[in-house]
Chain A
Amino acid sequence: MKLFRLAVAAVFAFAFGSAYAFHSGGVAECEGCHSMHNSFENAANVTGMPQFQSGPYLLKAQDQSGACLNCHEAADTAPSGYHISTKNAKAAKSGGTQMPVEYTPGGDFAWLKMTRTGAIRGAPVTWDGDRQGHNIIAQDFGYTADKIQTTAPGGTYPASKLACSSCHDPHGRYRRLADGSQVTTGLPTFGSGSYPITGATQGGPVYPVAGKSAAGVYRILGGVGYQPKSLTGSFAFASQAPDAVVPSSYNRLETTGQTHAAYGKGMSEWCANCHTEMLENNYTSGMKGLLHPAGNNAKLPAAIVANYNAYVSSGVMTNTDPTKAYSTLAPFELGTNDYTVLASLAVNTDTKDQSASTNANVACVSCHRAHASAFESMTRYYLGNEFMTIADSASAAIYDGSTTENKINTAYTAAEQTQAYGGRPASVFGPYARNLCNKCHAKD
């Protein structure tokens, strides 16, 4: 038996600490995605176009999202790194053998490909994967425009132009200064601001520092004034990128500790850049004509806070441990843009107090994932049925594996349901668990 484990240090000629960051909170090397002339030593070199003719926006891809998915999609069998799309995903019910395996807070785009058919009370039903996320267009990777909607719900953003670059600025121009303000110029971006910045782990100084350095905004999202060049018309963002911090290892199943993305402020306002009509900061309970609260001012009332912190599972409201209150399946914004606080809570263990408070607010991400999820309207859990789990003959919680009645499982296998919930076994939810609206509203 031979094991090849070498506990030796290697000296590298290149700065690998920065090499694989690529974006590093800002613009990466231009030649990574663009070809300037499609000419090298007087011959065409990369795009396959005739010499001196390059691809759209000089990209080395069929479309904007294709340039991203070259790196960000992978044929993984388990969550890994920066991947947000699983190659060749297809629902088991549709004859597929590969389910989406990436589990980032934003979700795996491959759920868009998980169309399956089943039956509810004998009537055939199709659950269209197309409805389960943002329909980015990436021809090489099998992603197509929304089949039904031509514009963003609650907005006017054209579906035919949806790409990774609709939300993320591939050049990462937006940066956060030490005072929390977001600008596009003024100080150099030292690195990503998406993760806790300790300096030591990055091999460099802590940033941002007033007058010296800036940090890339969360996930290099577009900020005020952002509009991809390929999009004509008036779609420039009105709201800045949200304040949030996520653990540096964010793509993982949550079987041992949840991936605590510490959402701070501004996520709903940012989503409203496109989904303008969905923002609701002035909710009054019982008043008609309003929407579900979502926004910086949609603070959790005391009763909701009490429900949230006590809720364990359906009918079980016995939690008293503040470190166990938070659920990444029903997150909220903390109501602060203090990055010291946010960074302290961005961990992969359930050991920090991230319980609800009346300073916290509901956000779009409380119910939705940003990329895609296993469920219609990219929600974090299935809202289309009262139950998420059922019980076996011993009354223990199990995922519904019925192949004939799909009201609960929407034609997903038990394995797919487990993956949809981040690897959580059904026992986490308990038997006949009602859906997680009840985490806040506790009507179960």
Chain B
Amino acid sequence: MTRTCGWRYRHKSCSASHDNGTPMSRRIHIALAPIALLLAAAAPAPDSVLPISASYLHSLSSTSGVLPMDAVMLTYDRQNKEMLVVDGPVVRIFNESGMETYSFGDDPELGGIRAIVALEDGDLLALSYADSKPVLLRCNFRGGLLGRIEPKGVPAEFASDVPGSLRYANGKVYLASHAAMRVVVLDTAGAFVAGYDLAKLIGEEGKRADLGFRGFNVDKDGNLLFTVQPLFQAFVVSPEGNVQAFGVKGSAPGKFNVVSGIARDDDGNIYVADILKSAVIVFDREFRFLREFGYRGRGPQNLAAPEDLAAGNGKLFVSNHARKGVSVFEKIDGEEAGGVSRSQ
């Protein structure tokens, strides 16, 4: 059986096979005993893993056409199937068809919104900056300010961190400081729930200032996903603090050049953006390389230094540089490549 891989686009298919070299999978237990590394055998996904492919659907647009947004931050509201994008001082909301339906912001009352998430009740939480100080704001679904949320009970070691990302999952709010490599978890009232020192968790406390993390996300189970560029690796940290690392440095398909955004879909597949390759690299839930797609080019299905990712309801959203906007792909399961399909 001939194995094929690649995300299939409207006009192009990729026939390259793949090899992700020597991957590394590591699980760090909370116990203080010396850590044992688990090195997964270097192998692509076995034939029993259902292949996936994707087709380019559209780019996020308004009635004027594709919006030339540049490296914007993405938040996908699974419940309402809406995409929220922070585009400079403005928050744009797009429907399931990728059309902008509403926007708000550029409002002194809201300050400089940096990130936004949607709550189950329809309200929005925004990470905003006023006079260079971060504030957490609660807004109604139209962006009308309801009030300010003051974090309570945050330990001193996290108190001075400057968050750059805001995520939400299962009633918890995640504030991530990329430079400090720390994440604070609050409830929606602002009470401290948990704190993660990611640099310590991955054993790089001494190099915190040199590393930082670039992409950051939280999946529906509360696992933290982040990428560390200088390590050419991506990490998944469970709510209990178990760490799994994956990724190998290199430019061949499946390997990491300069990693940026990261996201996980509803099936557990992990997507990692490579800003240098201008590609999205896909792994299954066992961190086995599945696909790579995108690449630099002028076609609508091509990418331009992808920065942020969001996934949900069978879609993958990719935020590009070079004002290429946000590309939307649809994931297709059980593609018949190699003769393997879901029906079998």
How many A-B pairs have beta carbons closer than 8 Å: the answer is 209
Residue contact B195 to A3, C-beta cutoff 8 Å = yes
Chain B, residues 33-46, CB within 8 Å of chain A (1/0): the string is 11111010000000
Partner of A80, one of B16, B89, B209: B209
A169 to B274 CA separation, bound complex (whole angstroms): 24
Closest to A252 in B: B209
- Please tell me if the beta carbons of A76 and B164 are within 8 angstroms of each other in the complex: yes
Stretch at the interface among A47-55, A216-224, A261-269: A47-55
Is the C-beta of A2 less than 8 angstroms from some C-beta in chain B?
A: yes
B75 lies within 8 A of chain A by Cβ: no
Q: Would B88 and A48 count as touching, CB distance under 8 A?
A: no
Q: Which A-chain residue is minimally distant from B302 (CB atoms)? A: A48
- Specify which of A20, A90, A96 is in contact with B207 (CB 8 Å cutoff): A20
Bound complex: CA of A175 vs CA of B204, how far in Å? 30
CB of A6 within 8 A of CB of B179, answer: no
* CA gap between A92 and B297 in the complex, in Å: 34
Collect the chain B residues with CB atoms within 8 Å of residue A3's CB: 155, 194-195, 197
- What CA separation (Å) do A33 and B258 show in the bound complex? 10
Query: In whole Å, how far is A136's beta carbon from the nearest beta carbon of chain B?
Result: 15
- When the two chains form their complex, are residues B30 and A140 in contact, meaning their CB atoms are under 8 A apart? no
Contact A46/B35 with A70-B258, A76-B179, A98-B112 known, Cβ cut-off 8 Å:
no
**Residues from chain B with Cβ under 8 Å of A419 in the complex:** 132
Which has the most chain B C-beta neighbours within 10 Å: A1, A33, A41, A60?
A60
In the complex, the answer to whether A82 meets B210 with C-beta atoms within 8 Å is: yes
Which among A14, A32, A97 is the interface contact of B24 at CB below 8 angstroms?
Answer: A14
Q: Is A88's CB under 8 angstroms from B230's CB?
A: no
Compute how far the CA of A41 lies from the CA of B3 in the bound complex, rounded to whole angstroms. 13
The answer to whether B209 touches A60, judged by C-beta atoms less than 8 angstroms apart, is: no
Nearest B residue to A10, CB-CB: B203
Residue contact A80 to B212, C-beta cutoff 8 Å: yes
The answer on a CB contact under 8 Å between B39 and A35 is no
1/0 contact trace for A126-143 toward B, CB 8 Å?
000000000000011110
- B278 to A6, Cβ gap below 8 A? no
Interface size, A (range): 35 or more
For residue B244, give the distance in angstroms from its CB to the closest CB of chain A. Answer: 13
The CA-CA distance from A3 to B162 in the complex, in Å, is 18
The distance from the CB of B237 to the nearest CB of chain A, in whole angstroms, is: 8
Determine the main DSSP class of A at the interface with B.
loop
Please indicate which of the listed interface residues B32, B164, B203, B276 has the most CB atoms of chain A within 10 Å of its own CB: B276
- Quote the shortest CB–CB distance from B105 to chain A (angstroms): 9
A72 CB, nearest partner CB in chain B, Å: 10
Q: A1 touching B202 by the CB < 8 A rule?
A: no
The answer for the CA separation of A418 and B131 in the assembled complex, in Å, is 11
1/0 contact string of A29-49 vs chain B (CB within 8 Å): 101110100001111111111
Q: Identify which of residues 236-270 in chain A touch chain B, using a CB-to-CB cut-off of 8 Å.
A: 249, 251-252
Interface: A66 (CB within 8 A): yes
CB within 8 A of A8: which of B32, B178, B231?
A: B32
Interface flags for B313-332 (1: CB within 8 Å of A; 0: not) read 00000000111000000000
- Measured CB to CB, the nearest residue on chain A to B230 is A20
> What residue of chain B has the Cβ atom nearest to residue A30's Cβ?
B251
B112, B178, B305: the one within 8 Å of A140 (CB): B305
Q: Are B322 and A19 in contact (CB under 8 A)?
A: no
A11→B35 contact, CB < 8 A: yes
CB-CB under 8 A from B295, the residues of chain A are 44, 46-48
Nearest CB in chain A: distance from B51 CB, A: 16
The reply on A231 being an interface residue by CB < 8 A is no
B203 CB contact (under 8 Å) in A8, A13, A20, A79: A8
Task: State whether B194 touches A80 (Cβ < 8 A).
Answer: no
A1's partner among B36, B153, B204, B305 (CB-CB below 8 A) is B153
Residues of B within 8 A of A302 (CB): none
Chain B residues near A70 (CB-CB < 8 A): 258, 275-276, 305
Q: Are B296 and A47 in contact (CB under 8 A)?
A: yes
- B37 CB contacts on chain A under 8 angstroms: 10-13
B20 at the interface (CB under 8 A from A): no
A382 to chain B, nearest CB (A): 19
Check A7 for interface membership: any CB of B closer than 8 A: yes
Q: Which residues of A contact B323 (CB under 8 A)?
A: 142
Whether the pair A81, B276 counts as a contact (CB closer than 8 A) is: no
The reply on B146 being an interface residue by CB < 8 A is no
Tell me if A142 and B70 are in contact (CB < 8 A).
Answer: yes
Q: What is the minimal beta-carbon distance from A271 to any residue of chain B, in angstroms?
A: 28
Asked if A32 and B162 sit within 8 Å, CB to CB, the answer is no
Q: Which residues of A contact B88 (CB under 8 A)?
A: 88, 90, 95-97
Q: Is the CB of A67 within 8 A of B276?
A: yes
Contact flag A6-B30 (CB < 8 Å), given A1-B194, A49-B297, A78-B179: yes
Residue of B nearest to A55 (CB): B296
Q: List 18 A-B contacts (CB under 8 A).
A: A3-B155, A6-B28, A10-B28, A11-B34, A12-B203, A13-B24, A19-B230, A20-B231, A31-B257, A71-B276, A77-B129, A78-B177, A78-B180, A81-B211, A81-B230, A88-B88, A249-B209, A418-B132
- A5-B197, A43-B15 known; 15 other A-B pairs, CB under 8 Å? A8-B32, A8-B34, A10-B37, A43-B14, A48-B295, A60-B296, A62-B322, A70-B258, A74-B214, A77-B134, A81-B211, A81-B212, A97-B111, A140-B305, A249-B210
The interface of chain A, by Cβ under 8 A from chain B, is: 1-14, 16, 19-22, 29, 31-33, 35, 40-49, 55, 60-62, 66-67, 70-71, 74-82, 87-88, 90, 92, 95-99, 139-142, 249, 251-252, 413-415, 418-419
